[in-house]
Amino acid sequence: MLEAEGLAAFRAERLVFRDIGFAVPSGGALILRGPNGSGKSTLLRLLAGLLRPAAGRLTWRGMDALADTLAQARRVAYVGHQDAVKPGLTAAENLRFAAAAARVSVRDALAAFDLAPLAGLPVRLLSAGQRRRLALARLALSSGPIWLLDEPTLGLDDASIGLLGALLASHRAADGVVIAATHLPLPLPEAAELRLAGA
Amino acid sequence: MKLFIALLARELRLSLRHLGDTLGALLFFLVAGALFPLAIGPSPETLGRLAPGIVWVCALLAALLPLDRLFGADYEDGSLDQLLLCGLPAAAIALGKALAHWLATGLPLLLAAGPLGIMLRLAPEALPALLGGLLAGTLVLSLLGTAGAAIVLGARRGGVLLPLLVLPLAVPVLIFGAAATDAAAAGLSPRPHLLLLCALLAGALPLCPIAAGAALRGAAE
């Protein structure tokens, strides 16, 4: 159970949002919607512990989640709007660091997004959609219960969205939590929605 | 520990892939050092007298060269967020980065410093003091540089700001490093200077990663 109440955040001097509250049960999902600049990405970074909230509380299973940012970092898997892949490394090499602490092998993570044939290719040769799939393949390596996704389906084809849906479903079946910010339809059945209007 | 080694492996793999950037610092060191005999003349007495200072200043400047890309690329492509969320404390990430910087830049400089010193007619008996000083000195420079690179991260003119921030902090390293070599060339013991360099290293080893870690978290916000 991930619960937030009264969250507020500043970017520089500007108040991005305030009084954000939600509760996501184990196995649940939450979709963040709202116009550009309404703070969806900021909220995801705040939930990841990358950004300090200006006000409010976030609790995970009843405990203050942001008191120890290192513990929160181990609980979350974050896919930002940037792919965070290195063009000079191959697809498999890009995942090797994320795989260091994982129980899943790099090969399986690549297979989860149908990237196995591209494993040995330098990422600079991959298309934008293929890079996005590589960024999402990090999810398969994560053992954290909270997945935070920023526009995960941007540039993905239908088959890859299906693969993402399968991965999200298995994560939720294992009592994981998914929070995603998006403007596009997501393969997240029975997800709650949170509208951000901006402050 | 496993994560730390994986981080180090990632950094070294990246520097191997971008070999041009990695070797750039080393080539700068050799070329800049080779310019001095051309500028001040080949007389062995003058060169030998100036050699410790030349080697040290060139090493200091060469070590600064790759620093602005140390976190810059990770910051721009979103990898920094992934590093901060990998489960290692931010200070450990900074320490890994500093160690990788030393292995990719400091160690090659150390290996090239001997030949450069001989080329500049450095007294042979001063060579061990030069290399010993550089061993501790380049480690301190990597640590200071990492802290500096983390602090200027996200600043608009970070590349210009970085040397202005790091060079004054590196002054004690330069003074004691060059003094150790000078002392050895004059037949005195370089030991006190080398011990002071080691003391600087002992101070920088815990402090710089902590400062860099805090700066990284600030840059990610």
CB-closest option in B2, B13, B89 to A100: B2
- What ipTM score was computed for the predicted complex, to two decimals? 0.92
A51 against B1, higher pLDDT: A51
- Biggest CA–CA distance in chain A, Å, is 47
Does residue B158 carry a pLDDT above 90? Answer: no
Q: Is the distance from CB of A159 to CB of A166 less than 8 angstroms?
A: no
Domain count, chain A: 1
Mean of the per-residue pLDDT values of chain B: 93
E-only strand ranges, chain A? 2-11, 14-24, 29-33, 55-60, 63-64, 76-79, 146-150, 177-181, 192-195
The mean per-residue pLDDT over the stretch A99-113 comes to: 89
What helix, strand, coil percent values describe chain A, rounded to 5?
A: 35, 25, 40
For the stretch B38-85, pLDDT in tens is 999 889 889 989 999 999 999 999 999 989 889 999 999 999 999 999
Average pLDDT over residues A120-135: 94
State the amino acid at position A142 in one-letter form. Answer: S
- Cβ pairs A/B, distance under 8 A: 71
- Alpha-carbon distance B189 to B186, whole Å? 9
Give the contacts of A6 (CB within 8 A, at least 6 positions apart): A18, A19, A20, A21, A55, A56, A57
Output the pLDDT for position B138: 96
What pTM value is reported for the model? Answer: 0.93
- Categorize the per-residue pLDDT at B157 as very low, low, confident or very high, splitting at 50, 70 and 90: confident
Within 3-32 of B, beta carbons closer than 8 Å to A belong to 3, 5-7, 9-10, 13-14, 17-18
Name the residue among A84, A93, A98 with its Cβ closest to that of B78. A84
Residue at B157: amino acid letter: R
Q: Mean pLDDT over residues A166-192, rounded?
A: 93
Helices (H), A13-127: 40-48, 69-75, 91-96, 106-112
DSSP B151-208: HTTT-TTHHHHHHHHHHHHHHHHHHHHHHHHHHHHTTS--HHHHHHHHHHHHHHHHHH
> Each residue of B121-134: pLDDT tens digit?
999 999 999 999 99
φ/ψ (deg, to 5) at A16:
-85, -45
pLDDT at A199: 61
**In the predicted structure, residue A77 carries a pLDDT above the cut 90:** yes
What are the structure tokens assigned to B113, written together?
């410093």
Nearest to B65, CA basis, from B106, B95, B103? B106
Residue B214, CB-side half-sphere exposure with 13 Å CA sphere: 5
Query: Mean pLDDT over residues A22-27, rounded?
Result: 94
Q: Is the dihedral of CA A64, A67, A71, A72 positive or negative?
A: positive
Q: Which residues contact B50 (CB under 8 A, 6 or more apart)?
A: B36, B40, B120
Q: Give pLDDT, residue A12.
A: 83
Token pair 């005195």: residue: B188
Closest Cα in chain A, distance from residue B205 (Å): 22
Answer for the pair B176, B196: CB distance below 8 angstroms, yes or no.
Answer: yes
Asked whether the beta carbons of A125 and A117 are under 8 A apart, the reply is no
- Determine the Cα–Cα distance for residues B178 and B189; give it in Å rounded to an integer: 13
Chain segment B161-193, per-residue pLDDT in tens: 999 999 999 999 999 999 999 999 999 999 999
Query: Scanning every residue of chain B, which has its alpha carbon at the shortest distance from the alpha carbon of A90?
Result: B17
Query: Residue B22: pLDDT band by 50, 70, 90 thresholds?
Result: confident
Work out whether the CA dihedral A148, B153, B96, A64 comes out positive or negative: negative
Tracing tokens 């620093």 back to the chain, one arrives at B67
Q: From the list B10, B18, B86, which residue is nearest A96 (CB)? A: B10
Predicted local confidence at residue B169, as pLDDT: 95
CATH code for the domain in which residue A60 is found:
3.40.50.300
Find the domain containing A58 and state its range. 2-195
- Contact assignment for B221 to A51 by CB distance below 8 Å: yes
- The letter for the amino acid at B156 is R
DSSP class of residue A121 equals S
Q: Does B125 touch chain A (CB under 8 A)?
A: no
Q: What is the pLDDT of residue B44?
A: 87
Is the CB of B153 inside 8 Å of chain A's CB atoms? no
Best residue in B74, B82, B97 for a mutation probing chain A (most A CBs within 10 Å): B82
Q: What is residue B1's predicted lDDT score, i.e. its pLDDT?
A: 84
Query: How distant is the Cα of B54 from the closest Cα of chain A, in angstroms?
Result: 35
